[in-house]
Structure 1
């Protein structure tokens, strides 16, 4: 576990803990100076540090949260912000145990990142019980803003509904209507397959078959052979990270790619980097953020990259930054860390976000912003490391995400779309 603290514009040494800020805050007499009246706010980055999603999130998510805390401190000195972090090992029981300890012993007010949908769903339920905030910036399941929505949850970057619908729409124009699903067997994969299947049916497409594998599968040969013999035109990968990378590589090794179009339902910059352009070229995908979109995304990405050995950030890293900064601003406005009140403040007005553009937080907790369609460049098109994709289209936020009334969120029953 790591910990960093911010107080105004000065970074406090790593070993200073949130409890010390509490003592300073409430000390009386001469000690009651301006810094002592700052509200202490501890944010936990609960992530995958060493597993299949660690390149997408991991240490880079901690850096993104630190940047958000630093940027907030530059604009406002009313909060004393502490960032803590831990590895949930992609196990919901471990994630919940960490979250409970953080709340009970370290006064953690919000938990951000939350890759692995099973972890995110469990932590979001706990945060609702404790009236603290779950910032599910790296969790994909659309259930977080559907049947499992809560007044203390915000889902920032994307979700399985947006990814499935956007990918189907990107391929539908080529007449690619018969799909075979290769699905990772946990909440993320199930939701990706479910939401993409629904989008496919709405366009008149069909499912030629599907197989499921446990997280961490190394050999996809039998599933790939089934896909080749199914008559499908598209091999849809309802997975991400190391599992998806392995499946794409093996599809090429088995000679499937000339006859099957590969459709990664959730691919990020780190995955393309691991695949290499020779393998990943011409893949089409949807994403809410790309480091080279505009001047603002480039400037922030280079700041992040300075602390990450020259890498460029994924959309998950960008989501941690944006969700954390929006949360801190809402704490300032509401004057509390009570979860429902802070999230209500986040929902109160549109957010002019430097990385995702104009963003609104809906009643169901969904952060709505534009989503983009990309194609991976051929090797000859790339100008250098991380120059991997070109934007081919944009889906307006109002169309990119599931209509408000269609999600079965108890918070919005009876609401208009």
Structure 2
């Protein structure tokens, strides 16, 4: 009995030492868990972060990772207040996900001031790696420039050379319209008009009628989430595509396309960084995810949270501590990225993660072989072509580095 007790006590000591030698890391997933962006990010992004922590800990035992989450209700002031509380009081080392762009830009500044880490997956504004870049932020999944280069450039090539925009009336919408306009004009097309729609919004009828009256070949939806889905659904009711105008969804996720279904969304052209059915690795992850998420396949933003959290943890392990945010981000940039969802890539000096983007078309009901079989690949856009060149964004970090060389 005594021998068993001694062995038991020794085992406890070993376990205690193992835990004591682990570095504690706390990740916060901050997003919209109840509003227009909850389907594309929301609880699925939180699950993705948990899966990244589990997968990392299964192979590397040096970190003990905790994941927490909160809903910022799409309000920049609430997002900034939660970020401050997490950093100052709750011991959070890094914040992930974070739509919309206005909230992301607010958290971006708090993160820099507190020298923590911010990794954006759902936020679109390319300003995060442009004029607002910091040594503490990484922009992972996509941005407005990549969407514009993908969908804008492709539609003009396919004959869609006149555009009318329906634009969400806030930062993200303006930037998306601006970036897409630049690509359309550079490709030889022109913009014949635009209208700003309140955000969030459920009735797009008056805006769609203006777009229809413009006779533009392409109606560009510079909005996102459920707003984009509502506009597409109402465009179907107006028979816009039947009358010869094309709809370009400049930002929409698999969650919204799934909710609309191929009968409504068929023929829609869109650009994304990830799709569950791209290859064996994306399918394997997506099956695991769906088993834990009511059968739902991951969106690109949720995939981005998984992949970026995994890379962040590798960087923390290499640095040895999560406490100096700028040092961890510098290590994230130094280490080549490699994960099952986005493959091999890199994080540039301005914090922009570079990987291929894909131009998709939504399948017709006849082409779709199952509930989640929704996209076909029209083109693969190499990362170097999809994202803005490093020297064109106006990121102060790039200018500083050029001055040092």
Normalized against structure 1, the TM-score is what?
A: 0.91
- Mapped to 1, the partners of 2:125 and 2:184 lie a distance apart of 18
- Mapped to 1, the partners of 2:125 and 2:309 lie a distance apart of 20
Indicate whether 1:271 and 2:271 are aligned.
Answer: no
- 1:360 aligns with one of 341, 346, 354: 346
How far residue 414 of structure 1 moved from its aligned partner, in angstroms, is 7.2
1:31–1:157 distance in 2 versus 1, CA, 3 Å: closer
Aligned to 1:329: 314
- 1:211 aligns with one of 165, 184, 195: 195
- 1:346 aligns with one of 332, 336, 339: 332
Indicate whether 1:251 and 2:235 are aligned.
Answer: yes
How far residue 86 of structure 1 moved from its aligned partner, in angstroms, is 0.4
Q: Secondary structure at the match of 1:267?
A: coil
- 1:385 aligns with one of 371, 383, 388: 371
8 A Cα contact 1:235 1:261, kept in partner: yes
8 A Cα contact 2:26 2:65, kept in partner: yes
- Mapped to 1, the partners of 2:361 and 2:305 lie a distance apart of 24
Q: Secondary structure at the match of 2:328?
A: helix
8 A Cα contact 1:404 1:415, kept in partner: no
How far residue 182 of structure 1 moved from its aligned partner, in angstroms, is 0.4
Indicate whether 1:164 and 2:148 are aligned.
Answer: yes
Indicate whether 1:403 and 2:394 are aligned.
Answer: no
- 1:173 aligns with one of 132, 152, 157: 157
How far residue 359 of structure 1 moved from its aligned partner, in angstroms, is 1.4
- Mapped to 2, the partners of 1:391 and 1:31 lie a distance apart of 50
8 A Cα contact 2:267 2:364, kept in partner: yes
8 A Cα contact 2:156 2:188, kept in partner: no
Aligned to 1:312: 297
How far residue 349 of structure 1 moved from its aligned partner, in angstroms, is 2.8
- 1:132 aligns with one of 109, 116, 120: 116
- Mapped to 2, the partners of 1:174 and 1:62 lie a distance apart of 38
8 A Cα contact 2:53 2:310, kept in partner: yes
Q: Deviations over 1:150-208 (max 9, x none)?
A: 11000000000000111112212222111000011111111110100111111121111
Normalized against structure 2, the TM-score is what?
A: 0.94
Aligned to 2:29: 45
8 A Cα contact 2:41 2:302, kept in partner: yes
8 A Cα contact 2:315 2:335, kept in partner: no
- Mapped to 1, the partners of 2:338 and 2:24 lie a distance apart of 25
For this pair of structures, how many residues does the alignment match? 388
- Mapped to 2, the partners of 1:194 and 1:253 lie a distance apart of 28
1:39–1:216 distance in 2 versus 1, CA, 3 Å: same
8 A Cα contact 1:405 1:415, kept in partner: no
How far residue 312 of structure 1 moved from its aligned partner, in angstroms, is 0.4
How far residue 31 of structure 1 moved from its aligned partner, in angstroms, is 8.9
- Mapped to 2, the partners of 1:303 and 1:187 lie a distance apart of 35
How far residue 90 of structure 1 moved from its aligned partner, in angstroms, is 0.3
How far residue 32 of structure 1 moved from its aligned partner, in angstroms, is 6.0
- Mapped to 1, the partners of 2:370 and 2:401 lie a distance apart of 48
Q: Deviations over 1:287-346 (max 9, x none)?
A: 110000000000001111111111101000100000101001100001121111000101
How far residue 96 of structure 1 moved from its aligned partner, in angstroms, is 0.9
1:227-306 aligned at under 5 Å gives the runs 227-258=211-242, 259-306=244-291
Q: Secondary structure at the match of 1:108?
A: coil
How far residue 231 of structure 1 moved from its aligned partner, in angstroms, is 2.5
- Mapped to 2, the partners of 1:36 and 1:415 lie a distance apart of 39
Q: Let me know the Cα RMSD of the aligned residues.
A: 1.4
8 A Cα contact 1:60 1:317, kept in partner: yes
Aligned to 2:204: 220
Indicate whether 1:199 and 2:183 are aligned.
Answer: yes
- Mapped to 2, the partners of 1:32 and 1:288 lie a distance apart of 42
How far residue 383 of structure 1 moved from its aligned partner, in angstroms, is 1.1
- Could you list the structure 1 runs, at least 4 aligned residues long, displaced by more than 4 angstroms after superposition: 29-32
1:102-141 aligned at under 5 Å gives the runs 102-141=86-125
8 A Cα contact 2:33 2:43, kept in partner: yes
8 A Cα contact 1:357 1:370, kept in partner: no
